[in-house]
Amino acid sequence: MAEGEKTRVRERPPLAENPYEMNMRRRRERAERNRTGPVLIKGSDREVFVARQGRLMFYLNPYAYNDTPLQQWQVFKHEIRTRSGKHRHQGGVIIYVLDGKGYSIVDGERVDWKKGDLVLLPMKPEGVEHQHFNSQPGTPAFWVAFYSIPIIEHIAAEMEQVEDSPEFKG
């Protein structure tokens, strides 16, 4: 081979799709979504719906909105007109009260809250039974709940609906 001659290297063919490569691709996609996903989630772009727990609107929910960053979080607003449904799970939820006044029954104990308060549901392996009530009928109470999906998965949290919200018509 002559001294100045170069060998041309062909481009590498795409890698075959297998569980490892799928994992690597999803990691890249998640990192890109976290870098470039929306900075603002407008409430007007989200659906308000009535479920067994009550009137809800999810801002972040990887099962419903997979185009947002922070797929490891569920963040939802809850409007409480009279009372929510009652349910039990292992806890670990942060609730910030946006407006109104009410109380929660947490494992049989009443906890009063009002606008600006932060409610922290304890983490218990056997679960925390809770229900939320509005103290001012005719004026809805609003709060936003935050929970970390990795924590919920780590503790193998289960959720059991004990009683439906009176708004839910199933």
3-state helix, strand, coil in the chain (%, to 5): 15, 35, 45
Per residue in 97-119, pLDDT (tens digit) is 999 999 999 999 999 999 999 99
Going by pLDDT thresholds of 50, 70 and 90, the confidence category of residue 93 is: very high
- The tens digit of pLDDT for each residue in 27-47 reads 999 999 999 999 999 999 999
- How large a percentage of the chain has pLDDT more than 90? 84
Residue 26, classified by CB atoms within 10 Å of its CB into exposed (0-12), middle (13-18) or buried (19+), is exposed
pLDDT more than 70, % of the chain? 95
Q: Share the mean pLDDT of the chain.
A: 93
At 22, give phi and psi (nearest 5°). -60, -45
Cβ–Cβ contacts within 10 Å for residue 71, how many?
Answer: 19
